[in-house]
Amino acid sequence: MPRFLITRVASGLGVLLLVCLFTYLVFFALSPDPAVQICGKNCTPEVIDQIRGNLGLDQPFWTQFFHFVVGIFAGRTYGEGVGAVECAAPCLGYSFQSSQAVWDMIIQRLPVSATIAVGAAVLWLLAGLAGGLLSAVKEGTFLDRFTTGLTLTSMSIPNYVLALVLQYVLVVKLQWLPFPQAVAFADDPGQWFANFVMPWIVLAVGYAAAYTRLTRANVLDVLRENYVRTAYAKGLAQPLVWRRHALRPALTPIVTIFGMDFAGLLGGALITETVFGINGVGKMAADSIARNDQPVIMGVTLLAGFLVVVGNIVVDVVYTAIDPRVRVNA
């Protein structure tokens, strides 16, 4: 087990380093000179040179990249002498726009994004599992066909379109809900729910549909297995067969997929937060894209990569714990 974990963590770090390298390379090679951007309107070549020197932009690619990676683990110092700026680890640089440390910007906005992500995940797990099980129990009935149709529709509606429709109907026309804002749970639980419920739904709908289909398919597959037939032959009643023999193997694959989906949620949060104007990490990324604020885009890309890598490792560990069949190889 420890050795398996060590290899997984090592390969995860490798992936992260590559993500880092790719992103850095893209910005290094393709984007306009950041020093000119930071400098702004009243700019002289001397100032540009100075900024370049301070940020280390005058150095070759590999040196810059090395400093960037070391900065993440050990922190780094920009510039020299009196004007030097100490950037504590994990240092992701400073925003070109606001001059804030990227790490601080992310940490500030992470709770809001986490609220949206966790709420959506709860919603889609509940809806997906319930829908899938119901559909499987009633296989071939009207209810099953209705659920299947509903899932195909839900999978196809782009989340920003759904967001606009919901916001138009529920907020503008019916005025049941407020325009979503990040309200803290501690301040007012009722308002907290009313503000976050639309982002949750919008982010969850596509996943809920996919999980419904997956659950249904898995359950139906397992019910065709020989050991289920054996269980019935032993005289077990249907609820018992389901509980003891069918559900566990049918639902374990969902753990894997849930881990991956949850870890990759930042991409979806980007669109959801932008449409609703909620100031989380996703909206920050979208804004910095619009303003070409590279350090922030870099930081969010790395965060997304980190979450995916960690998610994968967690899934592997959890999977060996809940599925006895893979434990042998581990």
Partner 1 sequence: MTSTPTDLTAAQAVAAGSGDTPEAPAAPAAGALRAGAGGTWQALRRDVGAMLGLGYIVLVTLVAIFAPVLTAISGWTPYEFDQTAIDPNLGGMPIGPWGGVSAEHWFGVEPGSGRDIFARIVYGARVSMSIALSATALTTVLGVSLGLVAGYFGGRVDLVISRVMDFLMAFPALIFMIAVLSALPAGNRSTLLVVVISVFGWPYLARIVRGQTMSLAQREFVEAARAAGASGTRIVFREILPNLRSTIIVMATLAVPGYVGTEAGLSFLGVGVVPPEPSWGQMIAASVKWYAVDPAYFVFPGVFLFLLVLSFTVLGDRLRAVVDAQEGR
Which residues in this chain contact partner 1 in the complex, by CB under 8 A?
Answer: 15, 18-19, 22-23, 26-27, 30-31, 152-153, 155-158, 160-161, 164-165, 167-168, 172, 264, 266-268, 270-271, 274-275, 285-286, 289-290, 292, 294, 297-298, 300-301, 304-305, 307-309, 312
CB of 43 to partner 1, least distance (A): 22
Residue whose token pair is 């782009």 = 158
Closer CB to partner 1, 241 or 315, in the complex: 315
CB of 174 to partner 1, least distance (A): 13
Closer CB to partner 1, 129 or 163, in the complex: 163
Give the pair of three-digit tokens for residue 59.
């150095």
CB of 100 to partner 1, least distance (A): 19
Residue 255 CB-density burial (10 A; 0-12 exposed, 13-18 middle, 19+ buried): middle
Give the pair of three-digit tokens for residue 248.
């566990």
Q: Are 244 and 69 in contact (CB under 8 A)?
A: no
Closer CB to partner 1, 163 or 231, in the complex: 163
Closer CB to partner 1, 27 or 232, in the complex: 27
Sign of torsion, CA 237 239 240 246? Answer: positive
Closer CB to partner 1, 18 or 118, in the complex: 18
CB of 6 to partner 1, least distance (A): 18
Measure the CA–CA gap between 109 and 281, rounded to whole angstroms.
5
CB environment 287-303: b (16+ within 10 A), e (fewer): ebeeeebbbbbbbbbbb
Residue type for 261, please?
Answer: D
Closer CB to partner 1, 51 or 209, in the complex: 209
Measure the CA–CA gap between 82 and 305, rounded to whole angstroms.
36
Cα dist from 193 to 31, 34, 274, whole Å: 41, 41, 19
CB of 187 to partner 1, least distance (A): 26
CB of 226 to partner 1, least distance (A): 17
